[in-house]
Amino acid sequence: MSHWPRTSGNAINGVGEPAPRRPSPIYWHDPDSTPHGPLQRWFYQRSNTGDPEVAAARAERQRVIDLPLAPLAEVPEQRADWSDEVKRIAREAGADDVGITAMRADYVFAGLDVPPQRWMIVIAVGQDYEAMRSAPSSRALVEVTRQYARGTRIAKALASWLRERGHDAFPYGGPMAGSFILIPGALAAGLGELGRHGSMIHPRFGSNFRLACVLTDVPLTADQPTTFGADDFCSNCRVCIEACPPAAILEDKQLVRGEQRWYVDFDKCLPYFNENLGCALCLAVCPFSRPEIGANLVAKLRRR
Ligand code: B12
Ligand code: SF4
Ligand code: SF4
């Protein structure tokens, strides 16, 4: 806590602000550029426990991040709509779900450049439930790290495929925040609903999945947002509230940058997250994440 800045993370995130604005960089940016940067450095020291599996998963993730993209072909191939093809290629490369939405400037962190591409192809990758059930643990951290690598690998494969057809494309898979937030685009692309725990709930993977994406200008058709009742269900469910050790998950929606929505108390979550290998308990305990139970729940909510 000696690294804790005077500024509240909730103030940086715009809690209580009635006017819409772009999000501010808060974590997983250049640590010298944000008030919580020293805590970010400390996280990597703390989570470097000497566990060879964590080290191997991190090395593999870095190898994937460093992979070069295919060269850009000189003559662009023309198609009226690339949507079915890009989804097919993303799935073949390992994506568990894919959605398309228009890239919007209000997804981009304040002070960072708005990417020039028009479209966002959003990729979802499921995580192993048994590994995540052990969160917070080294095993869950390894699984999260592997899925970051998988999301990045798929995004790079799709971006390379587009470049080989003469269309530039930008892949993003984390774990650093990059220049834009993924959740509002993933919601718009129909990949799920926002849950009380501040992460998304997907109809098949529940909360237990990660996101990656590719930005491009090829002609695409946007998908529609989906609702299957998760938002309503969250209003009557307290599982993540009760499971979150620092009580960071709140009873009520909050006004954040002009939107009333579920919000997690950053100042409570982050110390626990940092001391406990990236935590993720809230993803693991969510009933939607439990294989079989999640699918039945979604079917029941859809019937209702
Ligand atoms: C910084 C960051 C964090 C920070 C702080 C997040 C925060 N809310 O302040 C910390 C380290 C605490 C964190 C923790 C976790 N994170 Co995180 N995080 C990010 C990251 C890199 C940037 C998000 C950010 O800057 N948020 C700060 C502001 C914008 O937060 P906010 O206003 O509260 O908005 C949040 C949501 O409400 C939503 N959102 C934003 N704008 C809007 C607008 C509307 C209209 C709606 C409905 C929602 C919405 O997105 C934000 C997500 O943080 C993203 C990847 C990315 N590039 O987007 C992953 C990401 C959001 N994290 C993710 C996950 C899973 C986690 C953890 C479970 C950790 C883990 N080991 O898996 C925990 C969950 C706890 C929590 N508090 O949310 C996933 C979510 C996947 C999913 N199923 O939805 C992402 C997308 C990473 C990924 N590639 O998959 N995270
Ligand atoms: S545990 Fe319950 S309240 Fe929390 S996100 Fe999942 S369904 Fe919603
Ligand atoms: S990551 Fe852990 S501390 Fe943060 S909200 Fe989820 S359960 Fe709570």
| Structural tokens at position 73 | 């072909």
- Report helix, strand and coil shares of the chain as percent, to nearest 5: 40, 15, 45
pLDDT band at 254 (very low <50, low <70, confident <90, very high): very high
- Among protein residues, the one whose CA lies closest to atom 10 of ligand 1: 270
C-alpha closest to that of 288 among 192, 212, 214: 192
Structure confidence by residue, pLDDT tens digits, 233-244? 999 999 999 999
Q: In this structure, which ligand is nearest to the CA of 39?
A: 1
- Please determine, for residue 174, whether its predicted confidence score (pLDDT) is greater than 90: yes
Q: Looking at the domain assignment, is residue 257 inside a domain?
A: yes
Q: Whose CA is nearest to atom 1 of ligand 2?
A: 286
Instruction: Indicate the average pLDDT of the chain.
Output: 97
SS3 67: coil
Q: What percent of the chain has pLDDT over 90?
A: 96
Residue range 11-36: mean pLDDT, rounded: 98
Total domains in the fold of the chain: 1
Residue 4 included in any domain: no
Which residue, by CA, sits nearest to atom 32 of ligand 1? 13
The reply to whether 2 falls in a domain is no
Residue where the block lists tokens 């890239």: 103
Considering only 97-101, 118-122, 154-158, 294-298, which range has the smallest mean pLDDT? 294-298
Q: How long a stretch of residues is the chain? A: 304
pTM, to two decimals = 0.98
With respect to residue 130, please indicate whether it lies within any of the assigned structural domains: yes
| Paired strand residues for 202 | 206
Question: Ligand 3 centre and the CA of 233: distance in Å?
Answer: 19
- Contact, 131 vs 139, CB < 8 A? yes
Q: What's the confidence (pLDDT) of residue 46?
A: 86
Instruction: Identify the pLDDT of residue 111.
Output: 97
For residue 168, how far is its CA from the centre of ligand 1 (angstroms)?
Answer: 27
1 assigned to some structural domain = no
pLDDT at 48: 86
What's the CA-to-centroid distance between 127 and ligand 1, angstroms?
Answer: 16
For 228, half-sphere exposure in the C-beta direction (CA atoms, 13 angstrom radius) is 22
Q: Domain range for residue 220?
A: 10-68+79-303
Atom of ligand 3 nearest to the CA of 197: 5
